[in-house]
Structure 1
Amino acid sequence: MNSPEGLDHSLPDATPGNWVDVHAPKPWRPYLRLARVERPIGSWLLLLPCWWASALAAGAAGVYPDFTQLMLFLIGAVAMRGAGTTYNDIIDRKLDAQVARSRHRPLPAGQITVKQAIIFFMALCILGLSVLMQFNQTTIILGFSSLIIVAAYPFMKRITSMPQLVLGLAFAWGGLMGWSAVFGRLDAPAYFIYAAAIAWTVGYDTIYALQDIEDDSVVGIKSSARLFGAHVREGVGACYALAITFALGALVVAQAGIAAYVGLVLFTAHLAWQVKSIAPSDAKLALALFKSNREAGLLLFAGIALDAMLRAG
């Protein structure tokens, strides 16, 4: 089932003609694909809860969102998402070889060795650590604490029908870190943002899992898409409803202004459109809906950030 040693493949969920497949030097491509550089949506989805919480905290503190802090979160998200996907691919390389969408990933395709992947993983972790050390002590401790969840995630699809929930616990962690980076502590709005981001993650990753539902059932990989089955639209809708409710709670507790609520309304409308559009048998549509969550998350961030700027002014 594996591809011949060293054969270069564009991956099916990558954007056609992306710069990695077209312009990156061939020796770099397996490493860039391990880090999903040609598929930046994962970095965006890891980043956005950081930005939501950071902007919400800035508004609560009566200051402008800290651009340097936002850029540090951006670099950290790219590095740690790359480290996470590399770790995941090392653990899942045998399972990936049995799934059509993932069998051409660098490890199951034999483009690089496990040893090379581990060295690359360590380099990304060092980069992430260098970013983390720029924050206050509380945020540094939170960053290290997340590693327990990250380490556990690849094994969850083997033992639970809701691995997306564990992914949510990891991907939403920025909701805590963004707030603590401003205040040096955790307050109620941070927990609300964290809960919102968890529910959002379970929803969008259920949509993503629709692409693999047939292969997953054959090889025994568990997912929320398989769990919800014929009721997947209702399941995603429930997750998104929870995300919206918790996000509303964060805005209320943080005493946000009208611009933040406008952002939440737009976020809500986007999620409702996704739920209405779900077609369980259409893998291409599932991928497009999943990717559209970048725009959904940016709408919420824009509203919260604008509110912070208006309150600071």
Structure 2
Amino acid sequence: MTDTNGTPEVEIADAVTGNWVDTIAPQRARPFLRLSRADRPIGTWLLLLPCWWGLMLAMLNTGRASLFDLWIALGCAIGAFLMRGAGCTWNDITDRDIDGSVERTANRPIPSGQVGVRAALIWMCTQSLLALLILLTFPPMAVLLGFAALVPVAIYPFAKRFTWWPQVFLGLAFNWGALLAWTAHTGSLGWPAIVLYVAGIAWTLFYDTIYAHQDAEDDALIGVKSTARLFGDTTPRWLRYFMVATVCLFGIAVILSAIGGNVLALVVAVGGPWAMGWHLAWQQRSFDPEDSAKLLRLFRSNRDCGLIPLPFFAVALFL
């Protein structure tokens, strides 16, 4: 691949083949879009899906829906894209020395010299400010939660330096939208949203442990910690624990959301986490730490996994 001046472009190891960044994005914008992982949309989905879960459970809880809920859903989608980009930019700024020592990440924009640290900081702030404009259209409590989300986002890149459980910090950051979207609809935080948030953290531990196995050998050489390194050969057993925790907690969140509501609607809604559990079980059975390509495919499959509960919730809302 070459740019418009005939200079070879640096290819990113885990980018989606034929993605829009590599094919139609303006040449000058490509390094910044890659810095935001726009060529790898799975992260945006994993950040967005807990938002949609939280919104739909909030509507199930209140028994009402409005045009503003459509804006919450759309605002969360745009915000997820922007904040995922800002978070990834921050992650690459803090990890620029580590990324250069890992084969899969060595060609990222900062360690490969395509983007300087100052330019990356400006890009991160730009994305964050645009996301802030969306956040300010939500109710006050949701706005406060949005600001609070910056704490786990800021800490996460450093977590792998001081704990074997950096995936917990990723889960804290990536599932915050469940709290925010619930609150944007109801105006206040509730226990169903908190339980859903913890379910999302368990889900993140599941999928990011799979993802981290791609880098386990390199991480061991440079001293970076992860659940993949911590669990080693016992990873399949831990994945089973996280799967059960995800499904059970998600189911409890649904039940708490629908207390006093339509029994048939509750039964249908609970089917969402249950159906999602079958997808997680398939991933757990398919796990192979020696096959990096399969690890990446399983990780990416969590978009479809997270979408599974949504039709169940939609049907329940109309019952």
Residue 67 (structure 1) shift: 1.7
Residue 302 (structure 1) shift: 2.2
Describe the shift of the 1:223–1:7 C-alpha distance in structure 2 as closer, same or farther (beyond 3 A).
Answer: farther
Q: TM-score, normalised by structure 1?
A: 0.95
Match of 2:147 in 1: 144
Q: TM-score, normalised by structure 2?
A: 0.93
Match of 1:304 in 2: 313
Match of 1:32 in 2: 33
Match of 1:266 in 2: 275
Whole-Å separation in 1 of the counterparts to 2:316 and 2:38: 32
Whole-Å separation in 1 of the counterparts to 2:24 and 2:203: 34
Whole-Å separation in 2 of the counterparts to 1:122 and 1:8: 26
Whole-Å separation in 1 of the counterparts to 2:166 and 2:285: 24
Match of 2:289 in 1: 280
Q: Which moved more, 1:258-267 or 1:199-208?
A: 258-267
Residue ranges of structure 1 left out of the alignment (5+ in a row): 1-5
Matched, 1:243 2:246: yes
Residue ranges of structure 2 left out of the alignment (5+ in a row): 1-6, 259-264
SS at match of 1:10: coil
Match of 2:182 in 1: 179
Whole-Å separation in 2 of the counterparts to 1:281 and 1:84: 29
Whole-Å separation in 1 of the counterparts to 2:174 and 2:216: 22
Check the 8 A contact 1:79/1:127 in 2, yes or no.
yes
Whole-Å separation in 2 of the counterparts to 1:98 and 1:305: 46
Whole-Å separation in 1 of the counterparts to 2:310 and 2:11: 32
Residue 263 (structure 1) shift: 1.8
Q: Which consecutive segments of 4 or more residues in structure 1 shift more than 4 A?
A: none
Match of 1:204 in 2: 207
Whole-Å separation in 1 of the counterparts to 2:155 and 2:58: 30
Cα deviation code 1:202-256 (max 9, x no counterpart): 1100000011111111111110000010011111111121111110101111125
Identity of aligned residues (%): 44
Residue 265 (structure 1) shift: 2.1
Query: Comparing both chains, which one has the higher relative contact order based on Cα–Cα distances under 8 Å and sequence gaps of 6 or more?
Result: 1
1:73-92 aligned within 5 A: 73-92=76-95
Whole-Å separation in 2 of the counterparts to 1:144 and 1:219: 33
Check the 8 A contact 1:56/1:305 in 2, yes or no.
no
Whole-Å separation in 1 of the counterparts to 2:306 and 2:313: 11
Alpha-carbon RMSD across the aligned residues, in angstroms, is: 1.2
Whole-Å separation in 2 of the counterparts to 1:129 and 1:152: 19
Letter in 1 for 2:168: L
Q: Which moved more, 1:244-253 or 1:8-17?
A: 8-17
SS at match of 2:297: helix
Residue 262 (structure 1) shift: 2.3
Residue 7 (structure 1) shift: 5.3
Letter in 1 for 2:97: K
